[in-house]
């Protein structure tokens, strides 16, 4: 197999954070938010009167030690080490710039020297960068991401995507040809390494 330039998402691909956010939110605010509500704007679910309050509550958690020291998937550590021997790897995350220090600390600890760069696209901000733009700038051949939105905008540019994991926010019965579903890291390794 040829050497590929691969972009890898962070949250819920390398580090399982969605369940942490939901669990903490419910514990703190007495709500019953479920994983399937994570990207929902239903104010009743979040127990708030306006979007801004829910966003502020989640942001507060994103700044906590608990979130910032979340452990990666054990399988991701081996898988990315294996992939790095054959391919060039970059991180392209929706995280905002304020999480750069915590993110790089986690990457240095568990994935030392595996990534050529870490790109923050500030997805939930006034000035997001599109993952498709970043993929094109880095001449990425393939993106590994759990979110259908990012998968679709990147596939629209002609870039292959592995849609990672079985999550309520990435269910779709009708995926574009360039998007392929992968259930976990061993499946990714199987697809992207020569045996
Ligand atoms: Mg993600």
Q: How far is the CA of 71 from the centre of ligand 1 (A)?
A: 15
Average pLDDT, the chain: 95
CA distance 179 to 183: 13
CA of 72: how far to CAs of 1, 4, 100, 189, in Å?
Answer: 27, 23, 16, 17
Distance 67 CA to ligand 1 centre (A): 14
Q: How far is the CA of 145 from the centre of ligand 1 (A)?
A: 6
3-class DSSP string for the chain: CCCCEEEECCECCCECCHHHHHHHHHHHHCCCCCHHHCCCCCHHHHCCCCHHHHHHHHHHHHCCHHHHCCCCCHHHHHHHHHHHHHCEEEEEECCCHHHHHHHHHHHHHHCCCCCCEEEECCCCCCCCCCHHHHHHHCCCCEEEECCHHHHHHHHCCCCEEEEECCCHHHCCCCCCCCEEEECCHHHHHHHHCCC
Give the strand pairing for 5-8 and 88-93.
parallel
Q: Using the mean position of ligand 1's atoms as its centre, give its distance from the Cα of residue 13 in Å.
A: 6
Does residue 1 carry a pLDDT above 90? no
May I ask the CATH architecture of the domain 5-16+71-192?
3-Layer(aba) Sandwich (3.40)
Residue at token pair 């700044």: 63
The residue count of the chain comes to 195
Distance 195 CA to ligand 1 centre (A): 28
Confidence class for position 195, pLDDT limits 50, 70, 90: low
Query: For residue 162, how far is its CA from the centre of ligand 1 (angstroms)?
Result: 12
Cα 132 to middle of ligand 1, angstroms? 14
For the chain, report the end-to-end CA distance as a whole number of angstroms. Answer: 9
- For residue 86, the CA-to-ligand 1 centroid distance in Å is 23
* pLDDT band of 3, cuts 50, 70, 90: very high
Domain ranges in the chain?
Answer: 5-16+71-192, 18-68
CA of 170 to the centre of ligand 1 (A): 10
Check whether 101 has a pLDDT greater than 70.
yes
Q: How far is the CA of 92 from the centre of ligand 1 (A)?
A: 9
State pLDDT tens for residues 39-96: 888 899 999 999 899 999 999 999 999 999 999 999 999 999 999 999 999 999 999 9
Task: Identify the sign of the CA torsion 126, 129, 7, 99.
Answer: negative
- pTM score of the predicted model: 0.94
Q: Give residue 122 CA to ligand 1 midpoint distance, Å.
A: 12
How close is the Cα of 174 to the center of ligand 1, in Å?
Answer: 20
Alpha-carbon gap, residue 191 to 6, rounded angstroms: 13
Is the Cβ–Cβ distance between 125 and 96 less than 8 Å? yes
List the Cα angle 133/83/192 in 5-degree steps: 80
Query: Mind listing the pLDDT tens digit for each residue in 115-162?
Result: 999 999 998 777 889 999 999 999 999 999 999 999 999 999 999 999
């Amino acid at each position: 197999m040829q050497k590929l330039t691969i972009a890898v998402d962070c949250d819920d691909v390398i580090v399982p954070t969605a369940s942490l956010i939901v669990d903490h939110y419910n514990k703190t605010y007495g709500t019953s938010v479920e994983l399937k509500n994570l990207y929902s704007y239903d104010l009743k679910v979040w127990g708030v009167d306006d979007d801004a309050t829910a966003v502020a509550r989640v942001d507060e958690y994103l700044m906590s030690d608990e979130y910032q020291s979340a452990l990666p998937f054990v399988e991701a550590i081996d898988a990315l080490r294996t992939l790095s021997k054959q391919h060039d790897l970059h991180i392209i995350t929706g995280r905002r710039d304020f999480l750069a220090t915590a993110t790089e600390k986690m990457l240095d600890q568990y994935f030392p020297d595996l990534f050529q760069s870490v790109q923050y696209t500030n997805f939930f901000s006034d000035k997001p960068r599109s993952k498709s733009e970043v993929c094109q700038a880095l001449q990425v051949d393939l993106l590994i991401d759990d979110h259908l939105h990012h998968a679709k905008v990147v596939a629209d540019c002609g870039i292959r995507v592995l849609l990672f994991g079985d999550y309520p926010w990435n269910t779709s019965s009708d995926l574009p040809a360039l998007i392929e579903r992968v259930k976990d890291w061993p499946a990714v390794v199987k697809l992207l390494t020569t045996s």
